[in-house]
Structure 1
Amino acid sequence: MPLLVLLVFAVVLFPAASLRAQDLPECDVIASLQVENDRIAGTDRNYTHGTRLSLLSPEVNAGCGGEEWRRPTETLQSWTSAVPFPNPYPNRRWKLAVGQSIFTPEDTGAEDLIEDDRPYAAWLYVGFGVVAYDEAYENYEAVNLDLGVVGPLAQGEFVQNTFHNLIDVPEADGWDNQIENEPGFMLSYERKWRFRAPGEFLGMQVDMLPHVGASLGNVMTHAGLGATFRIGAGLPDRDFGPPRIRPSVPGSDFFTREKKIGWYLFGGGEGRAVMRNIFLDGNTFRDSPSVDKNNFVFDLQGGAALSYDRARLVFTTVLRSPEQEGDEELDLFGALTLGVRF
């Protein structure tokens, strides 16, 4: 159902044929699909799965398309221009997204509530965001608002057990103990800088992308900072790193369109001070399963990105410190992102 909603957005709001006629990189719509899963570690625990599908608009000041483009997007373009970023960068794009994240305890075979482990939980949401950056692609800001629901309405049990049946893996039996239904919101801000190393090394470029960010909401409230280091051939100017599902080391959905193969290897991390995490703290206004959380969490990640013409494929491996008090095991999961410009 969420994917159908986003497809409707694509048909109504993105008349791709008229944009392609202009054939300007700034006029490309960018679709991104992200899938994250801990199958790479052979586990089903903590953050076990995430899916996110997004559409990023052309630059709102690029004069793309004709009346058929401007009329249905006039309101969204107005909102995009009105977002009060600390820095008034001239290039802005707006973004629509839909996603789901799933969390489980370590013992998914137990039917009864496990008192000392995190509860089952799912988060189903739609998002609207705005990104802004300067002409040199050295400064980047983003604001994003996610609205959705946690609890049974988020369909975590259906998605996880349907997938387990498809790959012949035992179902998770404890979903009757998940947190209760609750509307959720999360308002996020992130700021990134790019510092390029001068010249090339063996035909490759090097850059560093430090960042800061924060999220506020009944789903998650935290603040973080970190950096990403990259080395590659044809390191794209208009790529601020691979996108991920929050909470995460942030990246960008947009990337350079060039008719040559580009690639880079990357590594980085983020430390987060966590004030609120509904997937550990439980429901906000009613009783529900919960556990004590760690107030500081870090992510370390590394991977590779490959791009050619209108497509980008990124694989990321993520190592996350324990989010729950008393848990001493690091979490390992993988993230795969496919982006297409059209």
Structure 2
Amino acid sequence: MQQSSQYSRSLGIKVWRQMPQAKVLAACALLGPFAACSTELTRSPDLRCLPEQTVHWRGGTLRLENDLFTGTDRNYTNGVAFTVVSRDLQGALRPECLPQPIGWYARFIGWADPEFWRESGAQSASQNVVVRFGQAMYTPEDKARFDLIPEDRPYAGLFYLGLAWNRRVHPQAANYEMLDVRELTLGVIGPWSMAEQSQDLVHRVRGIDLFRGWDNQLRNEPAFQMAMERKFKPYREGAVRPGWGSDVIGSYGLRVGNIETAASTGLELRTGWNIPNDFGSYPIRPGAENRPPSNVASLRTTNPQATQAPKPGTHAFLNLEVKAVAWDFTLDGNMFRFSHNVGRRPWVAQAAVGISSQWVFVGRGVRLAVMRVWRTREFDQQTGSHTFGSVALSLEF
């Protein structure tokens, strides 16, 4: 009897080991849609995580925006954001090979938007992760008034953390490539954003009069937004388009949440020397962080220099965007409680003109982008359009 029991148990273990798909199906039944089961079923029985399937941080970008650059101090008056981006992940998605929060987010995308991963395992596809955190502040025009100003926008601040997934795909035999972005932003609106303290600190250091009406700012509430965007441009290999050239980048996107709910479409025109093989330059917003493929960016240290390696270059760009806005917390106020608000305009257009330059310094890739941004009136009572400056400094680790 004991020998029979041992034989049955060993036979069961042998059969189970020879049925890797059965294991996955059992896990899918237990974990549900977040398990990303369709991707798991395509992987090999070797469950080890390869280096190209794990997250390794590649570089970062610091962005600063302020309307003092253009001689005003109102509306969108300051924004700062720091982003870090990973090296490209290759092959089919392996959530279990990622840091836990990123793995959870990958499974969430697979559940909420299954089409996003459809081509993730294609030979022409790569993906990377972007983490972004920052702060934004908005003020009315009259800084001396202590009372609420009904005809001007509310005092508002936002502190946030964003997690984005970029998927870059070159469709077979096509002369173009696409960058799809899914970015989730979580944060806080109101005094907890520390917008008042940040502005006061900068104004004191620079000897500028303080805004007196921050007691009327929007109240504390959680902030969230899901952004989905697609960009597309002519396909190129290597880190740059060598020599003099020009290109056009198109985009369209959707953002949903109490930070902003809007649909947008845009166009960027670039011309210059050694234009980088990325998807353009933007002011602070979801989906702004993108770079040439990391496998060619790492060639900057080769000797002799590889033909696909990064090269110094400079280009000018013109960025145009139009969006239909259904909600904007800086104008509509708090979503979950009564607050000051103004008459939001449903259509907003924006143009940015700038110069971007990249170079290699002591074996590191460095990039500086400077732009001036014009934005049409965002609410009915606004006195004219708004202008601000934007500076972004990027570094390859």
- One-letter amino acid of the structure 1 residue matched with residue 78 of structure 2: H
Of 31, 39, 52, 2:68 maps to: 39
For 1:329, the equivalent position in structure 2 comes to 384
Structure 1: runs of 5+ lacking an equivalent: 1-21, 64-69
Question: Residues 272-297 of structure 1: CA distance to partner in whole angstroms, max 9, x if unpaired?
Answer: 10000111111112121111110100
Identity of aligned residues (%): 31
- Provide closer, same or farther for how the CA distance between residues 163 and 96 of structure 1 changes in structure 2, counting only shifts above 3 A: same
Q: Which residue of 1 aligns with 2:267?
A: 227
Contact 1:122 1:156 in 2 (8 A): yes
Give the drift of 1:125.
Answer: 0.6
Taking only aligned residues, the RMSD between alpha carbons, in angstroms, comes to 2.6
Q: Counterpart amino acid of 1:128?
A: L
**Equivalence for 1:140:** 179
| 1:120 aligned onto 2:155 | yes
User: What is the SS of the residue equivalent to 1:162?
Assistant: helix
Q: CA deviation at 1:73?
A: 2.9
CA separation in 1, counterparts of 2:379 and 2:335?
18
Cα offset, 1:229, TM superposition: 0.3
Verify the 8 A CA contact 1:27 1:62 in the aligned structure 2. Answer: no
Instruction: Give the number of the structure whose alpha-carbon radius of gyration is greater.
Output: 2
1:96 aligns with 2:136: no
Distance 1:115 1:106 in 2: 12
Where do 1:53-92 residues align within 5 Å?
A: 53-61=82-90, 73=99, 76=102, 79-80=105-106, 83=110, 84-86=114-116, 88-89=119-120, 90-92=125-127
Change in Cα spacing, 1:294 to 1:78, as seen in structure 2 (3 Å) is closer
Question: What TM-score do the two structures reach when normalised by structure 2?
Answer: 0.72
Q: State the alpha-carbon separation in 1 of the partners of residues 57 and 184 from structure 2.
A: 23
Q: Which has the higher helix share?
A: 2
Asked if 1 retains the 8 angstrom alpha-carbon contact of 2:242 and 2:274, the reply is no
Whole-angstrom distance in 2 between the partners of 1:190 and 1:241 = 14
Q: Deviations over 1:199-231 (max 9, x none)?
A: xx9941110001001100012100000100000
Q: Contact 2:152 / 2:381 at 8 angstroms: preserved in 1?
A: no
SS in 2 for 1:29: strand
Partner of 2:196: 157
- Letter paired with 2:289: S
**Do the aligned partners of residues 282 and 78 (structure 1) sit closer, same or farther apart at CA in structure 2, a change above 3 Å counting?**
closer
Paired residue for 2:345?
294
Question: What's 2:9 paired with?
Answer: none
Provide the residue aligned with 2:305 in structure 1.
none
The 1:311–1:294 alpha-carbon spacing in structure 2 relative to 1, beyond 3 Å, is same
2:342·2:381 contact (CA, 8 Å) conserved in 1? no
Report the 3-state secondary structure (helix = DSSP H, G, I; strand = E; otherwise coil) of the residue aligned with 1:88. coil
Q: Deviations over 1:128-159 (max 9, x none)?
A: 11000025872111010110110011111000
Q: Which residue of 2 aligns with 1:19?
A: none
Task: Determine the C-alpha separation between the residues in 2 that align with 1:232 and 1:53.
Answer: 27
Post-superposition CA distance 1:235-292 (Å, at most 9, x none): 112x111243127xx6433246345311111002110100001111111121211111
SS of 2:390's partner is strand
Question: 1:130 — aligned with what?
Answer: 165
| Residues 1:217 and 1:300: Cα distance change in structure 2 (over 3 Å) | same
Residue identity opposite 1:167 in structure 2: R
CA offsets 1:273-322 (integer angstroms, 9 cap, x no match): 00001111111121211111101001011101100131111011100001
For 1:287 and 1:78, locate their aligned partners in 2 and report how far apart those are by CA, in whole Å.
34
Q: Give the AA of the match of 2:69.
A: I
Match of 2:143 among 108, 112, 115: 108
Indicate if the aligned counterparts of 1:231 and 1:264 stay in contact, CA closer than 8 A: yes
> 2: distance between equivalents of 1:280 and 1:72?
38
8 Å contact from structure 1 (residues 264, 305) kept in 2: yes
Question: 2:135–2:160: 8 Å Cα contact kept in structure 1?
Answer: yes
Q: In 2, distance between residues paired with 1:253 and 1:111?
A: 42
2:315 alignment counterpart = 264
Aligned residues: 307
Report the counterpart of residue 7 of structure 1 in structure 2: none
1:315 aligns with 2:363: no
